[in-house]
């Protein structure tokens, strides 16, 4: 029997409807959540992604401060803008779209963001809190994965979670989150990567397989066991003359064949992707709630 396809779009839409009500309640108390957005340069993928985030903010009732800077913007100019947003009471979260131009030091820019406004979850302070299990902003894509599992009643406690990919954006943080002794964690975790020998011997052990390798067909049907839950984070362009743009998007998993063995599987597009922006909204709202509570003390 083919797997049930996890509809990330539907779950994201449901959560965003819930957010809209939360935002309305905050506005009624005089605190509209605000997101400061910084895009340096004119990378088409980054521009499209930022535009989608801004539209999502507007629909949820979140104030968005849009800053699109030329590629030649200096590091000092960028740091000055970040500091301005750090001090702006209307801004509860700061989104610095990556990658940055080569002349700007990414680490320096990320560290400049106030951890209390680090809604992307990239600041070392935030990462450290996540690792030790303290309450903090969780990185958006991994957090979105957790929500997909929760809302599909997938039990992680005691499960063997195998992660393919060790990036600091997906692989490493989701491994840490799955390890936490919490309701949506408490799993046994294996991380695989380009240095892993005999990848299939590990992926076949997975109860939950999370694939974020950045390469098409990294996981094929013979590499998974019956009933596995598959979360495909990969986004790869392949040529398709039947499409208007001349290409289509596929994940890192051989979807059509793997779904015949899996119990649940995410599609690409329409799986994990919509959840990333959704969790950015979530973090921004949570930041506004924290600030409101502080102001009332």
Nearest 5°: the CA angle 90, 91, 97 is: 155
- Whose tokens are 């996981």? That residue is 219
Helix (H) or strand (E) holding 127: helix 124-131
Tally the residues of the chain.
Answer: 297
Q: How far apart are CA 29 and CA 125, in angstroms?
A: 30
Active site (catalytic) residues: 53, 97, 120
On whether the CB atoms of residues 266 and 125 are closer than 8 A, the answer is no
Q: How far apart are CA 11 and CA 195, in angstroms?
A: 35
Query: Residues near 231 by Cβ (< 8 Å), separated by ≥ 6?
Result: 6, 145, 148, 149, 208, 209, 210, 211, 266, 271, 272
> What beta strand segments (E) does the chain contain?
4-5, 34-40, 63-69, 93-96, 160-164, 188-192, 208-211, 229-232, 236-239, 247-250, 264-265
Helix (H) or strand (E) holding 11: helix 8-28
């Amino acid at each position: 029997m083919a797997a049930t396809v996890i509809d990330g779009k539907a779950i994201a839409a449901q959560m965003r409807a819930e957010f809209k009500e939360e935002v309305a309640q905050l506005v009624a108390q005089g605190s509209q959540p605000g997101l400061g957005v910084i895009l340096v340069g004119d990378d088409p993928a980054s521009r499209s992604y930022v535009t989608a985030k801004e539209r999502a903010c507007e629909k949820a009732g979140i104030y968005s401060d849009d800053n699109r800077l030329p590629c030649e913007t200096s590091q000092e100019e960028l740091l000055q803008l970040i500091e301005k947003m750090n001090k702006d009471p209307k801004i509860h979260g700061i989104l610095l779209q990556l990658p940055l131009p080569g002349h700007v030091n990414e680490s320096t820019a990320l560290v400049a963001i106030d951890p209390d406004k680090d809604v992307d979850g990239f600041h070392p302070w935030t990462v450290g809190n996540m690792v030790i299990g303290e309450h903090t902003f969780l990185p958006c894509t991994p957090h979105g994965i957790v929500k997909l599992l929760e809302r599909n009643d997938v039990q992680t406690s005691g499960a063997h979670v195998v992660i393919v990919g060790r990036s600091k954006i997906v692989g490493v943080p989701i491994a840490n989150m799955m390890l936490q002794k919490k309701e949506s964690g408490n799993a046994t975790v294996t991380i695989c990567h380009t240095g892993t020998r005999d990848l299939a011997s590990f992926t076949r052990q997975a109860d939950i397989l999370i694939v974020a390798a950045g390469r098409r067909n990294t996981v094929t049907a013979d590499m998974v066991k019956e009933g596995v839950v598959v979360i495909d984070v990969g986004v790869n362009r392949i040529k398709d003359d039947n499409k208007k743009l001349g290409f289509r998007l596929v994940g890192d998993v051989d979807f059509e064949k793997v779904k015949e063995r899996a119990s649940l599987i995410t599609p690409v597009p329409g799986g994990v992707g919509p959840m990333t922006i959704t969790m950015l909204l979530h973090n921004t709202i949570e930041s506004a709630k924290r600030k409101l509570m502080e102001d009332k003390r």
